[in-house]
Chains A and B, each alone.
Chain A
Amino acid sequence: MEFQLTAEQVGLQQSVRRLLAARAAPRSAFTEEAPAQARALWAALNDVGLGALGLDLPQYELTSTAIEQMLVAEELGRAVAPVPFTGVAAATSLLSRGTEPAAAHLLEQVIEGRITVAALPAATGGGVDVKAAAGDEGWTVDGEVAIVPGGAWAQTLLVVAHTTNGTPAVLAVELDAPGVTTTPLPAIDPTAGLAQVGFSRTPAVPVLVHDADEAISAASALATLLVAAESTGVAERALRIAAEYALTRRQFGHPIGAFQAIKHKLADMLVLVENARSACYGAAWQLSGGEDAGLYVAMAKAVASESATQVAADALQIHGGIGCTFEHDIHLYLRRAKSGQLLYGDTAEHLDVIAAALLDEPIPGGATR
């Protein structure tokens, strides 16, 4: 693995960073305007091609991989941007593997800016509570998805549902279709746009009906990595804010960053940030190389989201009293970090995946003793 970023990758990182500095307004997520603001920000990001990232589409002259997606996710985390990037990336991943005729058209719509979000069971670690059935007038879905990240802003949803023969399928549902109930969910991190979505005889368009498992797990792995990468960005920015504060805030005649109690905490935070980034790089390079990345994605998620929560909490602590006020921004990072830690599998779940590979696989070459 060669962890050198290309000039194009650095350019992408910088242009997204600039755009977000000018446009991202995390506090808008706490207001009535949240959905309109989120959609407007996504439109601006989509204009620079973020909706099509990760796709290999000759007809659009687009080729990018999980590495570019990871870099962008890190920027979104850094800006605490209220956009459904992860859900859209998971949706494009599913659509690009779609076997049904509608997939290509739906993908074009995403690239044109229609907010299409995948409602993956992996987001909540739960099962599938939606049923799909084919009738004379096409497919319908029934049931409920309890938590859909980005669901509060989405226009189209890709739902994982059980078909009548019990196998999973992926279907597209327009959220303004009859029989859809979208309930935005008040939560610790309004920038995640969580919603509960219910279906009652809702018309749906099939995307993947047979052998959907592999596509669903690929989309889940990608989404999990991207949440981890967002956490890395959150952690990095929270650390920088805390370091800046430690240099300017003076007590006992010195900047508080001169005291070892503070500087050692900052050093620990930097180690956590770098751990998060290394873990995400490892997983992104593995994914982009088409290799089995399961363990590396589990590592990235376990490390980055836990690190981000710790770093954001420590950043708040370094701010003292002011860190506990709504007026100061540091709580935005703590909220986003905690949200990222509990979505797409918590730390314990991902550690379980690694432990199983380490401890339950047969020992290569047979028992050693």
Chain B
Amino acid sequence: MTEVTSTSAQSTGEFRAELSAWLDANLPEGWGTPAFRMPKGAEPRREFIRDLQRRMAEDRWIAIHWPAEFGGRGATMDQQIAYHAELARRGVPRPLGHIGLNLCGPTIIRHGTDWQRERFLRPMLVGEEIWCEGFSEPGAGSDLAGLRTRGRIEGDEMVIEGQKTWNTGGHYAQWMFALVRTDPDAPKHEGLSFVLIPMDAPGVTVRPIERICREHDINDVFLDSVRIPLTHVVGPLHGGWGVTRTTLNHERYTQFLASQIGFRRTLDKVVDLARRTGPLGRRPADRPEVRSALARKWIASELIRLHGLRNIASVQSSGEPGPEGAIMKAFGQEQEKQLHELAMDLSGAAGLLDRGSALAPDRGKWVFGYLRSRASTIAGGTSEIQHNVIAERVLGMPRDPWLTQES
């Protein structure tokens, strides 16, 4: 790392120009032209991204929201928006281990020890160590604080016993950040600790979960007497719930950037599909109901962007992101599901055709998307939970009568 100054004093225009110049000089030859192809296959592709990521990290272009002293740029929100827009425009892939970069990194920076920062941040930044998340459990989904994976203290070690699920990337990650119950006698939210677990530790078993779209990116992770030193606890022992709130708030705060860009890209492809004459001879854009449905999805894409900008404005005036993030999330995740359904419906019966069929519109992409997007109103908090959060924390409604016993 050559300099350690924050770029927050830079105007967004200066920042954008510097980024643009860097990308011009450093993206591989032929990038952005139709002839350019990323390597095929998961591992060669990861290797390619890792190489680019290493060079970006050298010049502090990876976790730009991190403070400058930890290899970021202390970038302002406007700079982050410009950064994500520019990378999306040029089709630069997301860095490896973005879960770590966005969630675990900021948590270690905020709550970690000097040793933890020294040991973990740099390999995370360059993509040498990929992180996965170990929050959800079979019995703790929406009710995360009800988790039961035990962390028993033995001298200066912790022995972990339990099961995590809905774990993204555990089959190639080197580390997992997780919440475990270290004090079973304390009230539900008070006995948890935030820990860092090496995936190659004895007793860690990763079992793949296959999605309905036949993709494998999520896993069960079994923890069978896994030993970690107590130096791997982030923040106070038993204080994991408070630490996790930083992580989850950060998730919501930065999420909209990626989700808006993703939504817009999908929308552009759906619009493109609607303008073509399909394999069964009809052009969707000629049908009035398709036209208004697509107009509504353009609106949704703009609303996701505008909500995000308004949320940032309120973060900037009040300091912390509030539960309003749940409003964006509830809206965005529903829209994503609807957009994929619309994409499939556009082609009528031909829309049913999947990968492997020559007639399948866009090589079966939409069947995959329709099935995969079922998860969007479930992952990261179901829409039902988002509705409770909105009604209770924003509108001040009382909790459900059933829940008043337990909290």
* Residues in chain A within 8 A of chain B (CB atoms): 1-4, 239, 243, 246-247, 253-255, 257-260, 262-264, 266-268, 270-271, 274-275, 277-279, 281-282, 296, 299, 302-303, 348, 351-352, 354-355, 358-360, 363, 368-369
Contacts and interface: CB of A to CB of B under 8 A. Distances in A.
A358 B294 contact: yes
A4 B327 contact: no
B384 interface: yes
Contacts of A360: 285
Interface in B271-313: 271-272, 274-276, 285, 291-292, 294-296, 298-299, 302-303, 306-307, 309-310, 313
B276 A352 contact: no
B384 A264 contact: yes
B295 A281 contact: no
A306 to B, nearest CB: 10
Contacts of A348: 292
B401 interface: yes
Contacts of A264: 384, 387-388, 391
A351 B296 contact: yes
Contacts of A281: 306, 310
Contact of B387 (A268, A302, A354): A268
Contacts of A351: 291-292, 295-296
Most buried by B among A246, A264, A355, A363: A355
Given A254-B401, A355-B294, A363-B275, A2 B313 contact: yes
Contact of B294 (A1, A2, A262, A359): A359
Given A4-B316, A263-B392, A359 B309 contact: no
Interface in B299-333: 299, 302-303, 306-307, 309-310, 313, 316-317, 324, 327, 330-331
A281 B330 CA distance: 20
Contact of A271 (B299, B306, B390, B399): B390
B300 to A, nearest CB: 9
Given A270-B327, A359-B274, A352 B306 contact: no
28 contacts: A1-B309, A3-B309, A3-B310, A4-B317, A239-B395, A243-B396, A243-B397, A246-B397, A254-B398, A257-B395, A258-B399, A258-B400, A258-B401, A262-B397, A263-B395, A264-B387, A267-B386, A271-B327, A278-B307, A281-B306, A282-B306, A299-B299, A302-B295, A351-B292, A358-B295, A359-B271, A359-B274, A363-B275
Nearest to A5: B313
Given A247-B398, A354-B298, 5 more contacts: A3-B310, A275-B303, A348-B292, A359-B291, A369-B276
B299 A303 contact: yes
A281 B311 CA distance: 13
Q: How large is the interface on B (under 10, 10 to 19, 20 to 34, 35 or more residues)?
A: 35 or more
Interface of B: 271-272, 274-276, 285, 291-292, 294-296, 298-299, 302-303, 306-307, 309-310, 313, 316-317, 324, 327, 330-331, 384, 386-388, 390-392, 394-401
Contact of A266 (B307, B397, B400, B401): B397
Nearest to B272: A368
Main secondary structure of the interface of A (DSSP, over half): helix
B303 A263 contact: no
4 closest residue pairs by CB, A with B: A263-B391, A355-B291, A278-B306, A267-B390
B292 A243 contact: no
A263 B285 contact: no
A253 B401 CA distance: 9
Contacts of A253: 401
Contact of B292 (A246, A278, A352, A369): A352
Nearest to B299: A299
A260 B400 contact: yes
A145 B204 CA distance: 77
A360 B309 CA distance: 29
A340 B388 CA distance: 30
Contacts of B317: 4
A247 B397 contact: yes
A230 to B, nearest CB: 19
Contacts of A3: 306, 309-310, 313
Most buried by A among B292, B295, B299: B295
